[in-house]
Structure 1
């Protein structure tokens, strides 16, 4: 058998023009639609390989690949970024002149690229190598290729992971400043606010300073309470209307207008202190998920127009990984990308959005081992050609003796002084006086066993309930409150392609800490073109050493 690699590049022409015979003027009524619509875009697939390949449909993969690919993928392992992932690399092609036109005239930024691997089988009777079917090729990488870099005889294409789809900015509406719900001159050019999920004490955007009209969200939202300087009894709710400008609210009251295009409030009296609200935001489509992973998924689909085909089919089933109520508010003053939203909603939760080998996005959670965890593969000396230890980030090693996980983020900090209403109760002042309250996990015994144990700073999260934050803090304590080791394991590339980021593996080697039953998580992968091996980084989360080492190196078997 002979191993080969195939590369597929989709050239997407966004400005496709369909040439046809147009009927003469007057042959059909003005304004009627054509029966055959013009194509909005066309896709042409370029096919290459390193050894030559022809699929079952007789489509040739031209042998122009000189360096199949360099690839680096990984999950962030730091105390303040548990939830990030990265992926990048490159491929190199021989350019004999046939690719010049594509380099010069084709828009080649963020084009889909797929790298596959297969094995040619020798037909000994006929003395020829047989190519496998396209469906039998194993996916190695699926993502995007950014701007092509031509040389004299080569063409290098930098690779980006599927997460690069999230580099786009949120598709929000902009105030035109023409008055009414379009805003006055004070907000001209500003994005409308976005509210998704449950939030605490946000400051709505004042879009009409004359009529005291505020916008809460660009989608439907339920307002739990309205406060003036932290006091909820001064301005009372007087009803919901379809046109907030049709009538003025009575003094001391406010009206709400809610629709698929936004939520607004109008006050009947000029406020003396700052106006804030507690609210629950939905989406323009009317969807109102509460689970943090469901909110993120819906935002990717609606607010960033990510095609559903780029989300893993198991995402909805995996939302139970984080059954926690959450939410966030963006007031429109900053540019927000999909990457920003992922980092904000998953901050501190120990969950990463990871691109699979098929180019799908799926959530992966870092958890301590338990009896329900199943491993994908067992790695022993038969599979590993080399193993070396790697130092964990200093924020996670030595072990952490305390985790502080924030909850119910306060978007408008209001401390005692002229900004607070005189009747604001002490209970409300305690809530709005700080940005975050914390759920805490701690183990004082770690301070005695380790000379300088880690104590990460408080982590801001999108969680809304104290109990959920405590669950996250306890999970971090269980995982990172004991000694953990990170290993660089070199294996044949065929074995690495059977694993993906976030997979659990069993590993056993003749090195201290791995000489017994051990379970780890694949957290990174490094492949170099032309090499027969790949390097995996495996975080060991549970081990049963053959020797009776106690303390932090001995697992909590129960």
Structure 2
């Protein structure tokens, strides 16, 4: 037996218009049994489907309506689109739309932020919807509808008990809370049930980045040595990259598939041997003088041509734009444009809160893909967000949103209070071994070196000492360390240098300090189960206060929500809270 909601959002915790807690505010004498006497949580499922037309294509010819023999447009559509509505407890919208209770299992879902020392990526897995089909009542639907990779939306609401009439009252449709939005895979019928597997928004990141390849016909299409190889791609600024030699006779190199600029050109690590001789409209129109190079750059790509056969390996520092001409400087802004333009992610999948110029990560940088291997969207997300403490997560409304993990503190904006009267279960979870015991040193890389060159005959004899030191290692690093942590713990964690897409040392130093504040002390993860209708008001990255009869929680601890797990068979959600 528990009291009504004491889990309330703090004022200003969400923008105007965001979802708020349903009207079940606490009253001094009100006792609520979840799912029994006062309110009952239910879920609705909306599935977009395609219904192919039973008609076949035919051409109708009208005398005098058009040129003799020209086909006329058919008077019917080859397919129609519709939405199937279901629920797990029955629901009727105010406009009369029915949601019959065919859902026996809504879905399993696990979302989590990055909790490893390498700070790569996030974690998400989505389960399936199960519909009851006893007696074959849905067989006709299976026969005529196609649902493969079409939108699925799951929402939750509360039926309120009307004691006067002795019935459960359906809430308004607008009061339903989004729980999941994504795509459904094809029907998987069984003898008495139908299962639909779910895909979240990160499904769009599993495919390879669409990119052209060299035909090997010569000129800018490359010679036979690079035929079939993918074209390189540079977004933002990158250091000491190896451009692709696409014409070994005329010494033509390809830097990127979009416009860009060469900041420095090195031969064996030496920058003074080959001089810049200007930009040209056509690399093959004029042969550059010996000891010089010219650049051709436009929306079709960035190339340069040498006037002399090089003796040592050619590398460059360069800056690349997108093919559209967009040139975001900051890492997170580059990622956003990359998803839209290079991965062809529909704009609707970018969360409205992810602004074109984000204040979350005002750090310039970039990354280079040389075309030697295929690159998926997830690979690109990992490369650009590695080490930044930012996770790209799918939201409950089906969009992608970057979330930053920061150390929780009493001065943080507390989104919700979680107290014993809403906690169903409580247990401790283990942190990844790379974060427990605490970390005594963080080394965050910057100015990533894309071409490591060891000392020896491969380097130009005139290379400077500073450049020789730079090219010999993959990353320079900004460091945070704590002698206290090292002395207090017998074997504290000490992760390797983390490669990042950052350009500046000051930015890397700031991130190292944040990692130190977060992981340079003993942390604990608590798995807290609370009713679903309350959990839907809390999202990953939210800072909450938790009070519970457990070590460290007795006097109200402040933590950050780093994961959630939903089981179809349960009316609770288990939140992972880092304190």
Q: Note the C-alpha offset of 1:11.
A: 2.8
1:503 to 532, 542, 562: 542
Q: Note the C-alpha offset of 1:78.
A: 0.9
Q: Note the C-alpha offset of 1:76.
A: 2.8
> TM-score normalised to the size of structure 2?
0.87
Matched, 1:387 2:387: no
2:339 to 300, 303, 307: 300
- Partners in 1 of 2:51 and 2:297 — Cα distance? 40
1:354 to 393, 397, 409: 393
1:470 alignment partner in structure 2: 509
Q: Note the C-alpha offset of 1:95.
A: 3.0
- Partners in 1 of 2:292 and 2:54 — Cα distance? 55
Say if 1:148 and 1:156, in contact at 8 Å, map to a contact too: yes
Deviation string 1:463-503 (CA, Å, 9 cap, x unpaired) is: 11111111111110011001111101111111111111111
Matched, 1:87 2:125: yes
Q: Indicate the SS of the match to 2:344.
A: coil
Seen in structure 2, the aligned counterparts of structure 1 residues 214 and 400 have a Cα distance that, compared at 3 Å, is: same
- Partners in 2 of 1:179 and 1:503 — Cα distance? 55
Say if 1:83 and 1:350, in contact at 8 Å, map to a contact too: no
1:543 alignment partner in structure 2: none
Moved more, 93-102 or 422-431: 93-102
Seen in structure 2, the aligned counterparts of structure 1 residues 188 and 40 have a Cα distance that, compared at 3 Å, is: farther
Say if 1:85 and 1:353, in contact at 8 Å, map to a contact too: no
Moved more, 143-152 or 516-525: 143-152
Matched, 1:74 2:91: no
1:111 alignment partner in structure 2: 150
Give the number of equivalent residue pairs.
538
2:364 alignment partner in structure 1: 325
Structure 1: segments with no counterpart, 5+ residues? 541-558
- Partners in 2 of 1:371 and 1:512 — Cα distance? 18
- Partners in 2 of 1:23 and 1:522 — Cα distance? 65
- Partners in 2 of 1:265 and 1:321 — Cα distance? 36
Q: Indicate the SS of the match to 1:63.
A: coil
Q: Note the C-alpha offset of 1:75.
A: 1.7
Moved more, 80-89 or 92-101: 92-101
Q: Note the C-alpha offset of 1:367.
A: 0.8
RMSD: 2.9
2:292 alignment partner in structure 1: 253
Matched, 1:401 2:401: no
1:51 to 70, 78, 89: 89
1:278 alignment partner in structure 2: 317
Q: Indicate the SS of the match to 1:430.
A: helix
Seen in structure 2, the aligned counterparts of structure 1 residues 530 and 370 have a Cα distance that, compared at 3 Å, is: closer
Moved more, 390-399 or 174-183: 174-183
Q: Note the C-alpha offset of 1:137.
A: 1.0
Deviation string 1:307-347 (CA, Å, 9 cap, x unpaired) is: 11111111117821211111110011111111111111111
Pairing 1:112-191 to 2, within 5 Å after superposition: 112-122=151-161, 129-191=168-230
Q: Indicate the SS of the match to 2:348.
A: helix
- Partners in 1 of 2:208 and 2:145 — Cα distance? 24
Seen in structure 2, the aligned counterparts of structure 1 residues 347 and 102 have a Cα distance that, compared at 3 Å, is: farther
Say if 1:16 and 1:42, in contact at 8 Å, map to a contact too: no
Matched, 1:531 2:570: yes
Structure 2: segments with no counterpart, 5+ residues? 1-38
Moved more, 51-60 or 15-24: 15-24
> TM-score normalised to the size of structure 1?
0.90
2:49 alignment partner in structure 1: 11
